[in-house]
Amino acid sequence: MQDIATTPTPGNYCSKDAVFSFFTGAGFLDLGFEKSGFEIAFANELNAEFVQGYRHSRAKMGLPLPRYGIACDSIDDHLKPEAAAALKKQIAETRKSGQTVGFIGGPPCPDFSVGGKNRGHKGDNGRLSRSYIDLILAQKPDWFVFENVKGLWRTKQHREFFDQLVADLAAAGYQTKSKLLNSIAFGAPQDRDRIILFGARTSFMKKHKVSLENFDWNFAVKHPERSAFDFEWPTTSKFGASPKPTSAPIELTIQYWFTKNDAESHPNAAHCFTPRAALPRFQTISEGDDSKKCFKRLHRHRYSPTACYGNNEVHLHPYEARRISVAEALAIQSLPKEFELPSTMSLSAMFKTIGNGVPYLMSKGIADSIKSFLH
């Protein structure tokens, strides 16, 4: 179902680069690109509650809806003749205006995740990575971004699938570069590894006299490679104690982000799961003990483990006997203070879309690298 944008607010049409976004979620990746100077021309997301969050957050931040609207349907629908023709027309119009056309997307990753069902490209979610690449091959954007979990590289079966995707792109005239990046390298308070595949058409690069050899993954990186983990980080402290900070950068700690985003007064501060039966257990887990899959207690003076809410993974507040709130989860994803989700969304949908999203600072860092490469 196509949700056409009719807002009179003008988009960033003066941008040299337009983005067509897929698997958009609540728009974390889109926001990073937009703040880097790209125009979000089109968005696609199957989950209606995520679309609701996307629309709400953009309204609250004073951002326009995509020029060609939000398609609340499956990416597979855009491989069908009618929708494919409409998308091709939109891309042609965008190019005619003088903009480059890029696709960005992070297909659902549970089938490649270490903690998932490991069905790979044969799973209901895993096959969507193939669909996304097929859409790129069919629509031929000038450049694209593909984001996924590191599990796609870890096993032989998954790596063979990834390598086949890259080979298909090469056969269609795309040159690619891929790298395993961690969100903490960009200044987000979170240990989150993600594979990023960037590609551009050879004909496009020749026309614009750019070379993929000059693409710099570290253009916007603050802590190259894994250097952020070399700081002296605290381990665990008894729950209820007052641990002292170490010499590690304060801007990489969750307490810094809770304060920066005023999480206690944020519109999503009250959105939190409160299972009373678990209260005694909440009081026995040490601050910073994230060794188990379930009931990981964060440390106020440390970064967070990967924000992954669901499948029994629960993150506890560092010094309060409760689970973290939606506002605190948004802060861990390094989103601006002004970003909020609507109260009409279910709690499950809120935490799911947050856990699925690319941390904002990581998104913007990747977008900055691409912007530098393109111009």
CATH number for the domain that contains residue 147? 3.40.50.150
Under DSSP, is residue 69 helix (H, G, I), strand (E, B) or coil?
coil
Q: Is residue 370 part of a domain?
A: yes
Give the integer Cα–Cα distance in Å for 268 and 325: 7
Q: Would you say residue 168 lies in a domain? A: yes
User: Which one of 14, 72, 109, 272 is the catalytic residue?
Assistant: 109
**How far apart are alpha carbons 122 and 256 in whole angstroms?**
41
237-187-154 Cα angle (round to 5): 85
Does residue 171 fall inside a structural domain? yes
Per the domain annotation, does 330 fall within a domain?
Answer: no
Per-residue pLDDT of the chain (375 residues; tens, 9 = 90+): 555 443 333 444 468 999 999 999 999 999 999 999 999 999 999 999 999 999 999 999 999 999 999 999 999 999 999 999 999 999 999 999 999 999 999 998 654 455 555 555 555 566 899 999 999 999 999 999 999 988 888 788 888 999 999 999 999 999 999 999 999 999 999 999 999 999 999 999 999 999 999 999 999 999 999 999 999 999 999 999 999 999 999 999 999 999 999 999 999 999 999 877 777 888 899 999 999 888 999 999 999 999 988 767 889 999 999 999 999 999 999 999 999 999 999 999 999 999 999 999 999 999 999 999 998
Specify whether 14 is catalytic.
Answer: no
Supply the pTM of this predicted model: 0.93
The whole-angstrom separation of Cα 325 and Cα 88 is: 41
Residue 340 lies in a domain: no
CA 285 to chain centroid: 29
Residue ranges making up the domain that contains 221: 2-225+359-374
297 inside domain: no
In a domain, 185, yes or no: yes
Retrieve residue 82's tokens: 């009618």
Q: What 3-state class would DSSP assign to 93?
A: helix
Number of domains composing the chain? 1
Kindly state whether residue 170 falls inside one of the protein's structural domains.
Answer: yes
